[in-house]
Amino acid sequence: MVASEQIQAALQRTADAPVCDDCLATWAGTSPQQIAQVCQQLADHGDLDREQGTCTNCRQAKIVNSVITSTNVPG
């Protein structure tokens, strides 16, 4: 399984822009299902934001993930 650190590192490369599970899976060399599982766990712990949106990589409307920073804190 892909490590949460790999996902966070991939998201940091995107300048905290939202990226979908499919694009993250391609970058990490794993399945979108594994990405979804790990990203949901990270979101549950408050380490990233996971919501409906547009992926900045493929431009598709999907569930996207982004690292929570002081400028994009949900709520």
Pairwise CA distance, residues 70 & 68, whole Å: 7
DSSP 8-state secondary structure symbol assigned to residue 26: H
Structure-token match 């300048």, residue found: 15
Closest CA to 64 of 27, 6, 16, 3: 16
Q: CB neighbours (10 Å) of residue 10? A: 20
pTM of the model: 0.80
Per-residue pLDDT 10s for the chain (75 aa) are 567 777 777 777 777 789 999 999 888 888 999 999 999 998 999 988 999 999 999 999 999 998 887 654 454
Give the tokens for residue 5. Answer: 């650190």
Q: Which domains does the chain have, with CATH numbers?
A: 4-67 (1.10.10)
